[in-house]
C-alpha cells in the first residue's frame, strides 16, 4: 500500500498574510483621507475667519469715512457765508460727497474717499488763511473733529492692511493655496491711499 499523505495547508498562512496586509493598507488609506479631510476643514475655517476679519476691519474704515463725510457739510455751512468766493470748492465738495455716497465696492469707495479728503484738506487750507474765521468756536471745533477723524482713518487703514496681510498669507501659502482655490478664496488688495490722503490736515 502507498502511504497516506495528509493534504497540505501551506497556502492558508500566505492567504491570511495577504488579507492582513490588504486590511492594513485599507486602514492606512482611510487614516490618510481622514487626516486630509481634517486638515482641509481646519484650513477652510482659518481662511473664513481671516476673511471675516478683513471684512469687519473694512467696515471700521467705512465707519470713520462716513464720520468725515458727515462733518463736511457742517464745516461748509459754518464757512461758506464768509468764503462766498470759494463757491467752486463748495460745489466740488458737494459732488464728491454724492460720489462717495453712491460708490460701491472697496476700490470705488477708496477712490471717492480720497477725493473727498483732498477737497476737505483744500477747504481747511483756505480757512487757515483767515484767522478771524478759523478762530470762531464752531469752525475751530469742526476742524479739530476732522483732524481727529483723519488720524482715526489712518489707524483703521493700517489695521485693515494688517488683516489683509494675514489673510493673503493664508490664501497664497503652500499647501494652503490648494484649499483656497477650489473654495473661492482670493487674495485681497491692500489699501493704497493717495499721498495727499495719507496725511491728516493740520489745524491750529
**CA 174 to chain CA mean position, Å:** 21
Angstrom distances, CA of residue 198 to CA of 118, 145, 183: 10, 17, 35
- The C-alpha atoms of residue 55 and residue 49 are separated, in whole angstroms, by 10
pLDDT at 107: 82
The enclosing H or E element of 74 equals: helix 11-79
Burial 75-113 (b: 16+ CB within 10 A, else e): bbebbeeebeebeebbebbeebbeebeebeebeebbebb
Q: Is the preceding peptide bond at 175 cis, omega within 30 degrees of 0?
A: yes
pLDDT at 199: 45
pLDDT at 28: 80
pLDDT at 95: 94
pLDDT at 93: 94
Cell numbers at 46, concatenated: 482659518
Q: DSSP state, 5? A: -
Helix, strand and coil content of the chain, in percent to the nearest 5, comes to 75, 0, 25
pLDDT at 4: 52
pLDDT at 202: 45
Burial tier of 145 (Cβ tally within 10 Å: 0-12, 13-18, 19+)? middle
- The C-alpha atoms of residue 197 and residue 201 are separated, in whole angstroms, by 9
Number of H helices, E strands in the chain: 6, 0
pTM listed for this prediction: 0.76
CA atoms within 13 A on the CB side of 20: 6
Q: DSSP state, 186? A: -
**pLDDT per residue as tens, the chain (204 positions):** 555 555 554 566 777 777 777 778 778 888 888 889 899 999 999 999 999 999 999 999 999 999 999 999 999 999 998 898 999 999 999 999 999 999 887 788 888 999 999 999 999 999 999 998 988 999 999 999 999 999 999 999 999 999 999 999 999 998 999 999 999 999 998 887 655 444 444 444
Amino acid at each position: 500500500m502507498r502511504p497516506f499523505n495528509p493534504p497540505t495547508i501551506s497556502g492558508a498562512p500566505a492567504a491570511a498574510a495577504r488579507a492582513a496586509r490588504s486590511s492594513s493598507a485599507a486602514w492606512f488609506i482611510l487614516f490618510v483621507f481622514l487626516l486630509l479631510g481634517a486638515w482641509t476643514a481646519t484650513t477652510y475655517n482659518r481662511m473664513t475667519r481671516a476673511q471675516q476679519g478683513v471684512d469687519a476691519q473694512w467696515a471700521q474704515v467705512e465707519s470713520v469715512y462716513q464720520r468725515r463725510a458727515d462733518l463736511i457739510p457742517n464745516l461748509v455751512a459754518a464757512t461758506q457765508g464768509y468764503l462766498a468766493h470759494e463757491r467752486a470748492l463748495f460745489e466740488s465738495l458737494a459732488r464728491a460727497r454724492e460720489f462717495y455716497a453712491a460708490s460701491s465696492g472697496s476700490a470705488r469707495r477708496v477712490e471717492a474717499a480720497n477725493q473727498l479728503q483732498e477737497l476737505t484738506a483744500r477747504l481747511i487750507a483756505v480757512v487757515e488763511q483767515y484767522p478771524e474765521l478759523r478762530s470762531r468756536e464752531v469752525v475751530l471745533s469742526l476742524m479739530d473733529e476732522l483732524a481727529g477723524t483723519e488720524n482715526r482713518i489712518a489707524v483703521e487703514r493700517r489695521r485693515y492692511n494688517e488683516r489683509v496681510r494675514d489673510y493673503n498669507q493664508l490664501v497664497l501659502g503652500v499647501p494652503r493655496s490648494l484649499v483656497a482655490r477650489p473654495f473661492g478664496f482670493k487674495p485681497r488688495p491692500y489699501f493704497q491711499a493717495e499721498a495727499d490722503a495719507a496725511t491728516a490736515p493740520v489745524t491750529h
